[in-house]
Amino acid sequence: MILSELISIKDAFKIMDKTQKVKDCEIIPLEDSHLRVLGEDIHSYHDSPPFDKSAMDGYALIAKDTFGASTDTPKTLNIIEEIGAGDFSEKEISDNEAIRIATGAPIPKGADAVLMEEFTASNGDKIEIHTQVPPSENIVPQGEDIKKGKKILVKGTILKPSEIGLIASAGYAKIKVYKKPKVKLLITGNELVNPSKTIEKAQIINSNKYLISSMIRSIGGIVDTEHLRDDADLVKIAILKASKEFDIVLTTGGTAISKGDVIVDVIDSITDVLFHGVGVRPGRPIAYAEVENTPIFMLSGYPIAAISQFDIFIRRYIFKMQSLNYDPTIVKRESKVKIPSDLGRTDYVRAFTDDKYIIRASNKGSGIIHSMVQSNSYLIIDDNSEGIEKGDMSNIIFFKSMLLY
Amino acid sequence: MILSELISIKDAFKIMDKTQKVKDCEIIPLEDSHLRVLGEDIHSYHDSPPFDKSAMDGYALIAKDTFGASTDTPKTLNIIEEIGAGDFSEKEISDNEAIRIATGAPIPKGADAVLMEEFTASNGDKIEIHTQVPPSENIVPQGEDIKKGKKILVKGTILKPSEIGLIASAGYAKIKVYKKPKVKLLITGNELVNPSKTIEKAQIINSNKYLISSMIRSIGGIVDTEHLRDDADLVKIAILKASKEFDIVLTTGGTAISKGDVIVDVIDSITDVLFHGVGVRPGRPIAYAEVENTPIFMLSGYPIAAISQFDIFIRRYIFKMQSLNYDPTIVKRESKVKIPSDLGRTDYVRAFTDDKYIIRASNKGSGIIHSMVQSNSYLIIDDNSEGIEKGDMSNIIFFKSMLLY
């Protein structure tokens, strides 16, 4: 099969969006929610703190009883009780009385301030106070942190430590999150072998298995991988099986025009290929279809092409499966390099970019995993540009802005 | 027990470093290595690619045979063989011969260039070629990606997709990584209850269990949590048990001066408390000791204090356990807020900061989880400063610079 007319990235996105799937949600214990995606808005069941509490270890008292107190002119108050964290007192404080109170304990009736222990000298059932405090000193008012009923987090939030702590304070021990997308990664290529010290002539190590699985995990997916020979019947069986058992199927290899390449032909024999060939480099031969209502993305066999295809198309699709937008930040940087490009093709050039400049860019085409590790960004050359010159302000997407977490 | 003389953060780090533990390594399958920490330098067993290969689908040929070819003046070559990906040819190309070749296939003997299929018209066992190519066109030379024997990654690297793909290409199916630190989180406080819609007076929801477990996971730790009442005997038993079974023990609560606070006293009855009280706010009462040669960090019960203590002390310790440096980037920003501070105390003020300005800062002390979610950075006020004024250029650490991944 020959590549169809190249379509633009934007048109490819339109086709993907028409068929975009979104995962169902599930209820899980909050302690298992680290880096899951929230599937509901969270409203607090409680004020937090649930009562006026002491912010310090010290003495709850009436502020005006301290006015004028100093080291030279101490005042003396009667200690009528002690409250530890978790205790509370039924007693009400009257003039010249104090209750010893622990950080976090509720402020007793009558008290309007807490004096830090450091500024007192205890003497049996009395304390000498050596400084004065204004009303509400060292008191954390009820609901300061969170007001009961308030919406504190929205659906689609990625749950990190602070959010998880906040949800706990709001009164939730279980929450609704999006199920993790289940991804089948089918890798084709007779030439591919597992990593080892020695490989035969014309063999290539199957690095995609490791590279792409890790990319899938890094965006919240669960991945199952399988290596297939370039055999149309085997590929067809594997794709039909995977399309029933998984949320999304990714294949690598078999998208270009060559003897050993079979996947697009196999899909074409099952259903319509919705697009094959996008005006992007690297990654032009990417193809997309649906089998059994399951999205199938056909990626290149070459790691670098596959990575670009993943970054541009697959991240977006899998983010949206979890109700997340995929909208990597584009920033402008001055280029220190000259890079030619063709009209009608968007280039994603791996580059090393700092706060000011695009310092290095590699445009050697496929296969250069190594430069991925040494790059930190894509230099994007739009399809209406014939390239960039040294000194041009150009569009950059930092890899870190494409990440989920 | 009274707080010891406050020590500086720097002195606390010195004490921690004297007793710093580092985890052993283990060998794991490469496919399980996502986000693990590399425990060895990686040298490549192979050139990558392992042979000169074609970067395109087309025809391997001798460049000079194409010189002068154009659409108007095509040249004709004899096709002597086809090579798919994974195949290779024993044949050697002579003048005016070509071998049809798939992307990734090895360049046959005699050929010095590949002409893209698009610029040819095949005609049985002959092709018409419509353009000329220079020598080495569309050939990816052996070892372009990685040279055999080259050190490609160093011990202490966090393994992300590109690194994992690179290690596979280098020939490793298994690798050495640091074992994950096993952390016991002991949470004390009679007042603490599990999250629920209704709570009793003077009860507080145990948000630390969820918050701190998630923070531990976010830096590569395995966490086991337990909630204890403020009972010295129970606490002592739990700490002695945990110190035998875990790499590091974190406690929350029981570090300040109050009736219900027991942990530091219990530790003091077992061994020397190496420090208790650091000149930092929030988080001053943090304490550190070793029991059974296991580090014990005693954190505050208040989430916000515990978070600062975690960010300043625990991240550092757990990073170093995995041979990682913890050195969050400090950047300067202009403050739009005025914040007082005390000499001899370093403030970590939760702030919202953008590219230019410190826009908001909250300094209300303990308990304000909510502001954590709304903040993105710490504004740091050094212990030799009495605070910052509006317009001051001040030190900022963005939360994201403290993360492991």
> How many angstroms away from the CA of A283 is the closest CA of chain B?
12
Instruction: Name the residue among B263, B289, B258, B261 with its Cα closest to residue B274.
Output: B289
If phi > 0 it is left, if psi is from -120 to 50 it is alpha, else beta; for residue B290 that is beta
How near does any CA of chain A get to the CA of B22, in Å?
A: 25
What mean pLDDT is reported for chain B? Answer: 90
The minimal CB distance from A173 to the residues B55, B196, B204 is found for: B196
Q: Which residues of B touch A54 (CB under 8 A)?
A: none
Q: Cβ of B230 and A50 within 8 Å?
A: no
Chain A residues whose beta carbon lies within 8 Å of the beta carbon of residue B140: 364-367
Helix (H) or strand (E) holding A207, with range, is: helix A207-218
Amino acid at B189: G
Q: Where does the pLDDT of residue A2 fall: very low under 50, low under 70, confident under 90, or very high at 90 and above?
A: very low
According to DSSP, the β-strands at A182-188 and A222-228 are: parallel
In this structure, are strands A97-101 and A53-54 parallel, antiparallel, or unpaired?
unpaired
Of A34, A214, A260, the CB nearest to B160: A214
Residue from A259, A302, A363, A402 to probe the interface with B (highest B Cβ count within 10 Å): A259
On chain A, the residues whose CB falls within 8 A of the CB of B49 are 204, 367
> For the domain bounded by A330-400, which CATH number is listed?
2.40.340.10
Write out chain B in H/E/C secondary structure.
CCCCCCECHHHHHHHHHHCCCCCCEEEEEHHHCCCCEECCCEECCCCECCCCEECCCEEEECHHHHCCCCCCCCEEEEEEEEECCCCCCCCECCCCEEEEECCCCECCECCCEEEEHHHEEEECCEEEECCCCCCCCCEECCCCCECCCCEEECCCCECCHHHHHHHHHCCCCEEEEECCCEEEEEEECCCEECCCCCCCCCCEECHHHHHHHHHHHCCCCEEEEEEECCCHHHHHHHHHHHHHHCCEEEEECCCCCCCCCCHHHHHHHHCCEEEECECEECCCCCEEEEECCEEEEEECCCHHHHHHHHHHHHHHHHHHHCCCCCCCCCEEEEECCCEECCCCCEEEEEEEECCCEEEEEECCCCCCHHHHHHCCEEEEECCCCCEECCCCEEEEEEHHHHCCC
Cβ contact, residue pair A261, B195, below 8 Å: no
Q: Residues of A with CB below 8 A from B364's CB?
A: 140, 144
* Chosen from A38, A158, A169, A185 to mutate, greatest number of chain B CBs within 10 A: A169
Asked whether the beta carbons of A204 and B169 are under 8 A apart, the reply is no
Cis, peptide link before residue A74, omega less than 30° from 0: no
CA distance A163 to A165: 5
CA gap A208, A303 in Å, rounded = 6
Residue A241, C-beta contacts closer than 8 angstroms, at least 6 positions apart: none
Chain A residues whose beta carbon lies within 8 Å of the beta carbon of residue B197: 45, 171
Q: Which residues of A touch B257 (CB under 8 A)?
A: 57, 117
Q: What does the pLDDT read at residue B370?
A: 63
- Residues of A within 8 A of B345 (CB-CB) are none
- pLDDT per residue over B58-112, tens digit each? 999 999 999 999 989 999 999 999 887 667 788 999 999 999 987 778 899 999 9
**E strands in A151-283:** 151-153, 174-178, 182-188, 192-193, 204-205, 222-228, 248-252, 273-276, 280-281
What are the chain B neighbours of A103 within 8 Å (beta carbons)?
256, 258, 301-302, 366
Q: How many CB atoms lie within 10 A of CB B177?
A: 25
Cβ pair A258:B103 closer than 8 A: yes
**Which burial class, exposed, middle or buried, applies to B325 when counting CB atoms under 10 A from its CB (0-12, 13-18, 19+)?**
exposed
Nearest-by-Cβ selection for B195 from A30, A197, A366: A30
pLDDT at position A370: 63
Per-residue model confidence as pLDDT tens for chain B (405 residues): 445 578 999 999 999 999 999 999 999 999 999 999 999 999 999 998 888 988 888 999 999 999 999 989 999 999 999 887 667 788 999 999 999 987 778 899 999 999 998 888 888 899 999 999 999 999 989 988 788 999 999 999 999 998 999 999 899 999 999 999 999 999 998 889 999 999 887 788 999 999 999 999 999 999 999 999 888 999 999 999 999 999 999 999 876 555 456 899 999 999 999 999 999 988 888 999 999 999 999 998 878 889 999 999 999 999 999 999 888 999 999 999 998 888 889 999 999 999 999 998 875 544 556 666 778 999 999 999 999 999 999 999 999 888 887
**Given B172, B204, B369, which is nearest A195 (Cβ)?**
B172
Cα–Cα distance measured from residue A129 to residue A124, given in angstroms and rounded to the nearest whole number: 14
pLDDT at A344: 87
- Amino acid residing at B35: L
Say yes or no for a CB contact (<8 Å) between A301 and B405. Answer: no
CA distance B55 to chain A (A): 7
Domain ranges of chain B: 9-23+180-321, 25-48+150-178, 53-140, 330-400
Which CATH fold would you assign to the domain B9-23+180-321?
Molybdenum Cofactor Biosythetic Enzyme; Chain A (3.40.980)
Tell which of A89, A100, A153, A369 to mutate to test the B interface (max B CBs under 10 Å). Answer: A369
Give the torsion sign (CA, A53, B249, B344, B377).
Answer: negative
Give B-chain residues touching A259 at CB under 8 angstroms. Answer: 82-85, 87, 100, 102
Find the residue in A nearest to B102 (Cα): A258
| Predicted complex ipTM | 0.86
Topology alike, domains A53-140 and A330-400: no
Note the pLDDT tens digit of each residue in A7-48: 999 999 999 999 999 999 999 999 999 999 999 999 999 998
Q: How many CB pairs under 8 A join A and B?
A: 321
Chain A contact set for B207 (CB, 8 A): 165-166, 168-169
Residue B222 carries which side chain, given as an amino acid letter? I
| pLDDT band at A175; cut points 50, 70, 90 | very high
Question: In this complex, do B197 and A171 lie within 8 Å of one another by their Cβ atoms?
Answer: yes
Which chain A residues are Cβ-neighbours of B372 within 8 angstroms?
A: 162, 165-166
- Tell me which H or E stretch contains A10: helix A9-18
Across the interface, do A189 and B365 touch by the CB < 8 Å criterion? no
The answer to whether B6 touches B148, Cβ cutoff 8 Å, is no
- What residue type is assigned to position A389 of the chain? E
pLDDT given at position B255? 61
Decide if A84 and B170 are in contact by the 8 Å CB cutoff: no
pLDDT at A61: 96
Chain B residues within 8 A of A30 when measuring between CB atoms: 195, 210
- Give dist(CA A138, CA A53) in Å, integer: 8
| Among B101, B189, B214, beta carbon nearest to A34 | B214
Whether B103 sits inside 8 A of A152 (CB atoms) is no
The pLDDT value given to residue A1? 43
Q: Among B49, B86, B369, whose Cβ lies nearest the Cβ of A189?
A: B86
> Which chain A residue's Cα is nearest to B372?
A162
> What pLDDT is stored for residue B364 in this prediction?
54
Nearest CB to A103: which of B30, B218, B256? Answer: B256
Best of A103, A158, A163, A225 to disrupt the B interface (most B CBs within 10 Å) is: A103
* Chain A residues within 8 A of B206 when measuring between CB atoms: 168
Nearest CA in chain A to B45: A197
Segment among A83-87, A387-391, B81-85 with least mean pLDDT: A83-87
> Domain A53-140 classified CATH 2.170.190.11?
yes
Say what the pLDDT of residue B366 is.
43
Judge: A87–B302 Cβ closer than 8 Å, yes or no: no
Give the mean pLDDT of chain A.
Answer: 90
Q: In whole angstroms, give the CA distance from residue B332 to residue B233.
A: 48
Name the residue facing B84 among A172, A260, A364 (closest C-beta): A260
Q: Which fold has domain B25-48+150-178?
A: Molybdopterin biosynthesis moea protein, domain 2 (3.90.105)
Q: How confident is the model at residue A304 (pLDDT cuts 50, 70, 90)?
A: confident
Burial of B82 (0-12, 13-18, 19+ CB in 10 A): middle
Optimal mutation site among B28, B82, B369, B400, interface A, most CBs of chain A within 10 A = B369
Write out chain B residues lying below 8 Å of A146, CB-based: 369-370
> Measured between beta carbons, which residues in chain A are less than 8 angstroms from residue B85?
189-191, 230, 253, 258-261, 301
Count CB neighbours of B221 within 10 A.
Answer: 22
Separation in Å, CA A37 to CA A174, A182, A360, B386: 13, 15, 36, 42
Q: Given the structure tokens 């720097």, which residue do they identify?
A: B10
CB contact under 8 A, A259 and B117: no
Contact of B398 with B377, CB cutoff 8 Å? yes
- Give the burial string for B341-368 (b: 16+ CB within 10 Å, else e): beeebbbbbbbbbeeeebebbbbebbbb
